Amino acid sequence: MVALRDLKAEPHAVVTKPSTSQILRFLVDGHHAKRVVVANVPSALRPLVADGLRGLSVQFLEEVPSKDVVKACADADVGVTWAEFAIADDGAVVEVAHDDSARLAASLPIVHVVLLPTERLVQDIGEGMAAAGQLLRSSEPGHRPTITFISGPSRTGDIELRLLYGVHGPHSLHVMLLDWYPGR
């Protein structure tokens, strides 16, 4: 949690299953968001997400025609995606994408909410790198995922060496740590 804050990402502990929807709603409302895209979230969790976003314009990208995906993401205020695992020491969350809708949803909207199962935290960057390498090696040629380590919101040091957030990618990154997942 501390590591995430160091990176200017905002961690949120989600202890129980029902609170997942409530916390998601709270975050999205905090940004006055109207349109939300969701991608790469395990199907078991989709009803919870849908529940939290009731009343807003929500698109699950798996159900959107491919040619409309980029536009849907560009028009959205918030993108909700899934992290395969994360690195406790450094606060980097790791996205594993077999489909680019996940990457588009995570990088076009100004706010990115990422769901992360707390049990999938690895300790340090060495372990994280090894896990990513394992994923790549075990995939077949032509079916390799695109893996991205995300350390905080989009950032630049290009103006007078000051750190500024949200140039091209999201300027806010919320990490929902799902303590309860996968549950019994």
Query: Applying CB under 8 A, which residues contact other proteins?
Result: 61-62, 64-67, 69-71, 74, 90, 92, 97-101, 103-104, 106-108, 125-126, 129-130, 132-133, 136-137, 141-142, 144-162, 164, 166-170
**Least distance between other proteins and beta carbon 47 (Å):** 20
Nearer to other proteins, 51 or 75 (CB): 75
Query: What does the alpha-carbon distance between residue 172 and residue 152 come to, in Å, rounded to a whole number?
Result: 8
Token pair belonging to 157: 């040091």
- CA neighbor of 27 nearest in space, from 5, 59, 2, 49: 49
Q: How far is the CB of 157 from other proteins (least distance, A)?
A: 6
| 8 A C-beta contact, residue 176 and residue 14 | yes
Pick between residue 19 and residue 151 the one whose CB is nearest to other proteins: 151
Taking phi over 0 as left and psi of -120 to 50 as alpha, with beta for the rest, 154 belongs to beta
Smallest distance, other proteins to C-beta of residue 166, A: 6
